[in-house]
Copies of this chain bind each other. A is one copy, B any other.
Amino acid sequence: MTNDLQVCLSPSLISLFEVEDAIVVIIDIFRATSSICYGIENGAEAIIPVAEVEECIAYQEKYPDYLLAAERNGEVVSGFDFGNSPFSYTKEKVAGKTVVLTTTNGTHALHLSRKAKKVVIGSFLNLTAVCNWLKTQNDNILLVCAGWKNNFNLEDTMFAGAVVDQLKGVGFILDDAAIAADDLYSIAKNDLPGYLKKTSHSERLKKLGIEADIAFCLQVNIATAIPVLEGEKLVKLV
A contacts, CB < 8 Å to B: 9-10, 12-13, 16, 149-154, 157, 175-177, 179-180, 183-184, 186-187, 198-201
Contacts and interface: CB of A to CB of B under 8 A. Distances in A.
A157 B180 contact: yes
A16 B179 contact: no
A150 B16 contact: yes
A200 B187 contact: no
Contact of A177 (B12, B152, B175): B152
A176 B150 contact: no
A237 to B, nearest CB: 29
A187 B59 CA distance: 49
Nearest to A201: B176
A9 B199 CA distance: 16
Among A12, A149, A152, the one with the most B-chain Cβ atoms within 10 Å of its Cβ is A152
Given A12-B12, A12-B13, A183-B187, A176 B149 contact: no
A175 B201 CA distance: 9
| Closest 8 pairs (CB-CB, A-B) | A154-B176, A152-B177, A153-B176, A176-B199, A16-B151, A176-B200, A183-B187, A12-B12
Main secondary structure of the interface of A (DSSP, over half): helix
A96 B17 CA distance: 44
Nearest to A148: B176
Nearest to A198: B179
Given A12-B13, A13-B12, A180 B179 contact: no
Contacts of A16: 12, 149-151
Given A151-B175, A175-B200, A179-B198, 11 more contacts: A9-B152, A10-B10, A10-B13, A12-B12, A16-B149, A152-B176, A152-B180, A157-B176, A176-B199, A184-B184, A186-B187
A151 B13 contact: yes
A165 to B, nearest CB: 14
A157 B113 CA distance: 26
A151 B180 contact: no
A153 B183 CA distance: 14
A153 B177 CA distance: 7
